[in-house]
Each structure stands twice: as structure tokens, then as C-alpha cells.
Chain A
Amino acid sequence: MNGPKPNLFVPALIGGVVAGILSGIPFVNCLCCLWIIGGAILASYLLAKDSTVTLRAGDGAIVGAFAGIFAAFVRSFLSIPFRAVEFALFQKIMERLSEYMPEAPGEWKDAFSLGAGPISIAGFFLGLVISAAIFAVLGALGGIIGMALFGKKTPPPAQGTKHETSQDTSHSQS
């Protein structure tokens, strides 16, 4: 009744790379965790799109979690060159701000100081581990949502009727 499940790796990789890039680019990454959830939803969509078997919420959780982990790697390595650029840009902003506001609010200075300076290798890998753990959870959530939205609820028609596309599916409730 159910054939072999599709490979999770490629959908997770694509969703993770997209999420990692968008969450790593300065100014674009202002959508916070929503990029990770969005990337996981994309991974679920890609997984379900060409699947010939009925996929479940748990399958979405797995592909989403892997997408989150891939996103953490991409974002972490992408942040290396952007970190210096970001800090230089914020320094210029602060210099401009000081022309109009000699005493900048304390929380602004502290916020900028958090990302200041070079990062050690140990700090990089610690950040990578923390990101991977958090993004895996967010990715699992996004994957479940994606499977709920795009996953097939009923198996495809039995053999004997040839269907070229997988568009002929029905969603029982949603």
C-alpha cells in the first residue's frame, strides 16, 4: 500500500540553504525565526510534491529539523564575512547618531557591543551548536506546518490508471 518514502536529504538541504542565507544576510534577517520556519515549510513542500506515498506530520518534523540544522551551518558560515561589514555599518550609524544625540541610550551601545570584535573558533562552534539546536526545533515546527499544508492526505490511485502528474490528490479536511 505504501511504497518507499522519498529521500529527505535534498528537500532538507534546499530548505535549509534558503533559510540559512536569508537569516544570515544583514537587514534581510530581521524576520528572525520566521525564515527558519519558512525554510522548513519549503522543505516539506519539496518532500511532499513528488512523493508517491502518504506522508505524515512526523515526516515533516524530521525533514524540517534537518532543514533547520542545515540552515544553522549556512547562517554561521555566512555570518563570518557579514559580521565585520555589519559592525562597521553600525559604527557609522552610531557616529551619525551622536551628531544629533550626544548621549545615545545605553541599550543601543550595549546592543552594538554584543556583536563587536573578532570571534574565536571556540565561540564560533559554540554558536553553531546553539544555533543548530534552536533551529532544529524551529525547523521541526515549520516542517510539521508544511506537511499539514502540502502533504497528501490520501494515497495516489492504484495501478491500472496511469497518471502522469501527482496533482490529482485530494485533501480530506484541509
Chain B
Amino acid sequence: MSRGKILLFYLATLAGILGWLGAVGLAPYLRSRGVPLGKFIYVCFSPVCHQIPARSFLAWGYPLAVCARCLGIYSGFLAGMALYPFLRGFSTVRLPETKVFLAVTAPIAVDTAGNFFRLWVTSNVLRLATGFLWGTILPFYLMTGLTELALKDKKQIE
């Protein structure tokens, strides 16, 4: 029963991130075709991203709906979802170790702080890379928390 719920949450989360990334790429495409829905998609992503064109990759001549760092995080999340079945399986859930979290967070934290305080300006590729690295560990937290909420035996997470 728990295995089925874990798998269900996994598939739902996977569908969610695929749709999310799809929308990121769909926005510039629709905009290049002059479809108003493209603009609406940009607006939907505006609460979570500054969408500065110079910080975003282009597709069909227009910036993606999110910046390079956000694209990295979401892409990394998808990569983490691909790794999840091999590293965790669907029989149980377990939170990552704190030292692993800190290790993958350090690059994006340093990079973000440096840019925020105008110490340096990072290229979009590096923003993508640090975001990607951090994004890979996020599914392991989200899956654990959401699955735990649904498990009836309320087993404590390790």
C-alpha cells in the first residue's frame, strides 16, 4: 500500500515538473507565433523569477519564461526525479543527509551571494550549472515530505 502511494506521488510530481518545464519552453514559442497565451505564461512565472532577458536563455528569438538559474533548478529537479527510483526506490522514503544538502547548496549559495552583493557577475551557463546541481537534491525532500503526509502508519522519517 505504501509503495503504491509513493509511486503515485512520484508520478504526480514527475508530471508536474515536466509540465512546468514544458511551460517554460512553450512561452517563447507561443510568443514567436503571436499567441496571447504566451504572454500569460510569462505572467504566471513572474512571481518566482525576475525574468531579466540578459539572464535568460533564448528560444525562438525570445527569452525563456524563467532565468538561467531557475531553469537550472527546475532541470536539476527533473534530473533528481530520474535518479530517485535508483537511489530510493518506492518501498520507503528517507531524507538526504545534511552534509550532502550543504555540499550541493554551497555553489549556488556562493554564486547567488556574490552576484547579489555585486562582487562578481556570473555567466548564464554557470548559473544554470549551480542551479542544476542544487535542483537534483530537491525531489528527495519533496517526495519524503509529501509521502509522509499521506502514509497512514505515520512512520517517522529517518
Contacts and interface: CB of A to CB of B under 8 A. Distances in A.
Interface of A: 23, 29-34, 36, 54, 56-58, 60-62, 72, 75, 105-108, 110-111, 114-115, 127, 130-131, 134-135, 138, 140-141, 143-145, 147-149, 171-174
Nearest to B13: A137
Contacts of A75: 47
A148 B47 contact: no
B53 A108 contact: yes
A134 B63 CA distance: 21
Given A32-B69, A114-B39, A134 B62 contact: no
Contacts of B142: 140-141, 144
A60 B46 CA distance: 26
Contacts of B157: 56-57
Contact of B53 (A30, A107, A148): A107
B97 A140 contact: no
A23 B47 CA distance: 8
23 contacts: A23-B47, A30-B52, A30-B116, A32-B48, A32-B49, A33-B70, A61-B145, A61-B146, A75-B47, A105-B53, A107-B58, A108-B53, A110-B62, A111-B53, A114-B43, A115-B46, A138-B48, A141-B138, A141-B141, A144-B144, A145-B101, A148-B96, A172-B158
Interface of B: 31, 39, 42-44, 46-53, 58, 61-63, 66-67, 69-70, 73, 95-99, 101, 112, 116, 138, 141-142, 144-146, 148-149, 156-158
Contacts of B39: 114
